[in-house]
Amino acid sequence: MISEADYTSRDATALADFVRKGEVSPEELLDTAIARIERLNPHLNAVVETLYDAARRDIADGLPDGPFAGVPFLVKDLHTLVKGSRLSHGCRFFAGHVSSHDSSIVAKARAAGLVIAGRTNSPEFGLNSTTESRFLGPARNPWNPEHSTGGSSGGSAAAVASGMVPLSHATDSGGSIRIPASCCGLIGLKPTRGRVLAGLDIGEGWHDTFNAFAITRSVRDTARLLDCLKNGGEPAPYYPPYHDMSFSEIPDAPARPLRIGILETPPNGVAVDPEVCNALDGTRKLLEQLGHVTETASLSYETGPAAEAFLNVICSSVASTVGYHEKHTGTVARREDFEASVWSALQIGRQIPGGELNAAIACIHLTGAEILRQLGSFDAVLSPTVAKPPLPLGQLDAGEADIKTFLSKVFAFAPFTSFYNISGQPAISLPVAWSPEGLPIGMQFSARPGREDVLIRLAAQLEAALDWSKPQTALMARLTER
């Protein structure tokens, strides 16, 4: 059996190579992952449902000969179906719902050879930048368990950062891949709109702001997994610009100088913590040392109407999801089954007229075009991922009775991420720094639509320069000893 030290110090690509060479079996990798989950999860609450027996059956039935054959994997408990598993969206109202089939992204993960061992923690409906639902309980940051993992893919981030699995499924409607990647010292790519098909089970998903992909530890895993999960022509509401190169080849491709905009201030004017500003300045200097040209960038649009439109889209999506469940199960939504902020969103969503929702979607599309107009001249744009280092648990309370007030607090912590969901651009959070208290600080890069290759190549440059695998491996070694 592979040792925990060997398991946690390797990325998914290396583990898959071990399996391919016959040096370790998928069963051994799964057993090691299970042992890690069982020992650490009581302290971190990253995994909310285990699927060990199903994973063993998948291995026994024979895994596809995919790039990640035999590598353990987890799927977030939000808007994503895994056949035979529960889907709660982090909400008591959906407790007991069991999925009858896989979402398309899960089917693609299986085709890549990934072994699904469980489901990860999510805040209720994903409507938080921390992962602390009343129903599932808080996910805890492996770097400091008294601090937040970020959200909404916080369970996935905690699982990867603690070495339970080398990569994990995640989703992103306003920063939910990038925020927890930043908080947990990991890589979080939000692909271009339409690059990865989340699953037609949810239609457009938050009216085209919903994205699905993963949280990883290495750039090569990110690139290889994107090749596995990208839409290969399946029916979908949106299609990204055509890309004829394997993303797996990008990390080793020759680098070229880029014109990179530096976005220091978010459109909503929220103040950024000095430690985060220091990390931004250090990243800018490193980019210049690597031969890139940096220029100050700015982004200004009418945040009030855009925020109101985004709120209407969120609330209508909550109402749609709840209404669908009511219709098909005969259950009735009750206030006590929801957190106060989500109940508020549900009531608003049920009262939004069709014309008002259509106007909100139009506002989002127009705002996205304006964002692209202002930032589109740059090859990439650098900003902080979040405005502060990871927050102590309990600071973003979804018990707030008014969803609008609550989301204003969420976007005060994470003011740099949601506008890329509006514009549809790819964006990635990279673990470039740590605070004096030892908490991760991520930086975000965006590129033009369809140019994930620019982000992956730039990320590979920074990975080589900063070697962020060292602090990651040191953390997992400490957790192994506990």
Catalytic residue IDs: 76, 152, 176
- For residues 140 and 105, the answer to whether their CB atoms sit within 8 Å is no
CB contact burial 37-71 (16+ within 10 A = b; e otherwise): beebbeebbbbbbbbeebbbebbeeebeebbbbbb
* Strand, coil or helix: 146: strand
| Positive or negative: CA dihedral 385, 388, 392, 393 | negative
Whole-angstrom distance, CA of residue 236 vs CA of residue 352: 26
Helices 469-481 & 154-161, crossing angle to 10 degrees? 80
C-beta atoms surrounding 254 within 10 Å: 5
Q: Which amino acid is at 302?
A: E
In angstroms, rounded to a whole number, what is the distance separating the alpha carbons of residues 404 and 426?
27
Q: In degrees rounded to 5, what are phi and psi of residue 444?
A: -110, 135
For the chain, give the number of residues. 482
How far apart (Å, rounded) are the C-alpha atoms in residues 185 and 53?
31
